[in-house]
Structure 1
């Protein structure tokens, strides 16, 4: 507070002008309370955003790499080039399929995302293997027809370890009568909780090879997940990935993929 401002405040607070002193006191107090409230709200929101960021990045990749158009074949070559870049800690090809999940005894269905993953590489890219409430990641690695699902989804379906779930996908079979939705079954071998509703209520992990087999897919992927040594390097690495892979590919960092949360 400069000398002039301090003099004006002290002068206004002198008892000889009771009403004006009181009014000025209330005004100054209001400013103090307002600034304090703003600081507190800002601190709370910053802490909330940091918590969301931590949970989000523990459950998903720092960067997602996909083809701009067409099927993503020869992904091994792209993955090798990405792994050689500075700041890259791990990579994992994945297949993404939107599904409706049901279970025996439950008439309602839950919308979910089936992600075909490599159980070993998943350990390099996300913390989901460490977030299991029930089950064991090693069991998932060995159970080809097994899936790991979010806790809220498990509650909605009324399932636990050993139960079967049915997944209905629009990626169906072509017949003379049109496309028939494909229905496949998996056995629940693990239930996780990461603290993000979108994952806990709608994510299903299965072996990528088993997903290909059950859904009649060839040796293709939806994209490649990338984990970095520091998420703050995402923009830098994103540009490097597009540079080494060429114009047929697009890389999106975690901020771009979650604009609604960090704008």
Structure 2
């Protein structure tokens, strides 16, 4: 006879007879059962919620991201470092910068990310987040304005729709006789994406890597590389190995590093809910 069965039998099959003993036993057992069930259900919901948030972040971000101004020769060194690590599945160079997007007297700060579609879609699930329109053409017309894909919430806030042309303004402009003039360029909106993560959908704008490189002054180069791992659970270890390989010239961050506040809040919320329910179960045992 197991210890668990012995204890359960000892307290459930009380020697006392009568309706009162049966009722009190039933209430005690039901209280503990409901408390345990509530704890299990709550933890399952919190785990599911955390997994859903994590999926939305990973769909729009790489598992590991390397930041640093890189020219073609530096990119070759990065690819060499990535190739030595068997945990890495794919990488995508990008150009990223901050700008102001203006349209019809409305403006909003945005983060512009330029990339090669084939490489980027191998790193994240951004391709499937497209809700309206299309991604930019592989060979756009030379005379046409560069094409831009916006987060759905960002487009709504500015009143933009597919086919509209908006102006990107970079604070890092060119020096002139009257001071530094901001750099401006017209872009055409061709698509809208919705990742389900509001911070991305309200701030991100995507364009071809060449257009972003010309706009931010990284023509022919990149200022970051997104990395996809074969196993996301090895992100922290892979990032540590990349820091050693690349030295101080680059900054390496995992998806968790870039969302520390969110994951810390989810962890704390889960702990507090578990503690409260544990106290409820403790009270129910009496």
Q: TM-score, normalised by structure 2?
A: 0.78
Which residue of 1 is the match for residue 89 of structure 2? Answer: 89
The correspondence of residues 61-210 of structure 1 with structure 2, limited to 5 A, is 61-67=62-68, 71-73=69-71, 74-84=73-83, 85-104=85-104, 107-137=105-135, 139-143=136-140, 145-210=146-211
Once the 2 structures are TM-superposed, how far is the Cα of residue 224 of structure 1 from its aligned partner?
0.9
Q: How does 1:215-254 map to 2 (within 5 A)?
A: 215-254=216-255
Say if 1:15 and 1:180 are closer, same or farther in 2 by CA, change over 3 A: farther
Shift of the 8–128 alpha-carbon distance from structure 1 to 2, 3 Å rule, reads closer
Secondary structure, counterpart of 1:45 in structure 2: helix
2:276 alignment partner in structure 1: none
Structure 2 residue matching 1:51: 3-state secondary structure? helix
Asked whether 1:15 is paired with 2:18, we answer yes
Structure 2: any 5+ residue segments left out of the alignment? 265-286
Structure 1 residues 33 and 97: alpha-carbon distance in aligned structure 2, compared to 1, 3 A threshold: same
Deviations 1:143-192 (A, max 9, x none): 37001111222222222221111222322333454444333221011112
Distance of 2:16 and 2:97 partners within structure 1 = 69
TM-fit CA distance, 1:9: 4.4
Number of equivalent positions:
255
The whole-number CA distance in structure 1 between the counterparts of 2:29 and 2:22 is 10
5+ residue gaps, structure 1: none
Deviations 1:219-253 (A, max 9, x none): 44321111122212222322332233234333222
Q: What CA distance in whole angstroms lies between the structure 1 residues aligned with 2:39 and 2:7?
A: 26
SS of equivalent residue, structure 1 residue 11: coil
